[in-house]
A and B are shown apart, each in its own frame.
Chain A
């Protein structure tokens, strides 16, 4: 069993829909990251969370440490949000190595 599980693996939605991508993990962590990988391949960091909630534009990330679960929400989705969204966690006992989820491929249709 992977230590970081993302769901769904693939998601197709219509422009304007509210999107939720989930990340569950099985280890104690010091931080959780959400990243976006564009169709061209580039990877950018969206959020780093250790508790609560963060918002940036139409993106909202939440984390529940007790339940070992995080969600990434996109409001008023747009075709340019089409990308792979990746969750990664930093285990408590690690100084360097993140544990990576396999990613969620999101397609927003106009």
Chain B
């Protein structure tokens, strides 16, 4: 099993450009999450999904959109990138929620110039 994979691993964008980050998991997990990690701060939840076709806002959703058309995939979109979105993005999944163990992807480093 590959676990949780993320593409791309690294990307440089110019302000105003758009991009989509892809997260895929092969563990048949219901819950999927997108986090961002910034220096000196804990992980912050951007959006999450409790199942195929569902999405919900997390702590810092502004500037991002998500879609979960297939159970194994969770896409994070930036419609118009801003320098404040420079960060490391992690995707995670869990079988169920209520505090269950989350399995993380390797992360995507995004630099917005």
Report which A residues bind B (CB closer than 8 A). 2, 4, 29-31, 33, 41-45, 48, 86, 88, 90, 95-103
Partner of B42, one of A44, A45, A100: A100
Partner of B106, one of A2, A41, A88, A97: A41
How many interface residues does B have (CB within 8 Å)? Answer: 26
Give complex CA distance A88, B42 in Å. 9
Residue contact B31 to A86, C-beta cutoff 8 Å: no
- Sampled A-B contacts (6; CB under 8 Å): A42-B107, A44-B104, A96-B33, A96-B56, A97-B58, A99-B42
Classify the secondary structure of A's interface with B: strand
Classify the secondary structure of B's interface with A: loop
- The 6 lowest CB-CB distance pairs between A and B, nearest first, are A90-B99, A100-B42, A31-B99, A43-B104, A100-B43, A96-B97
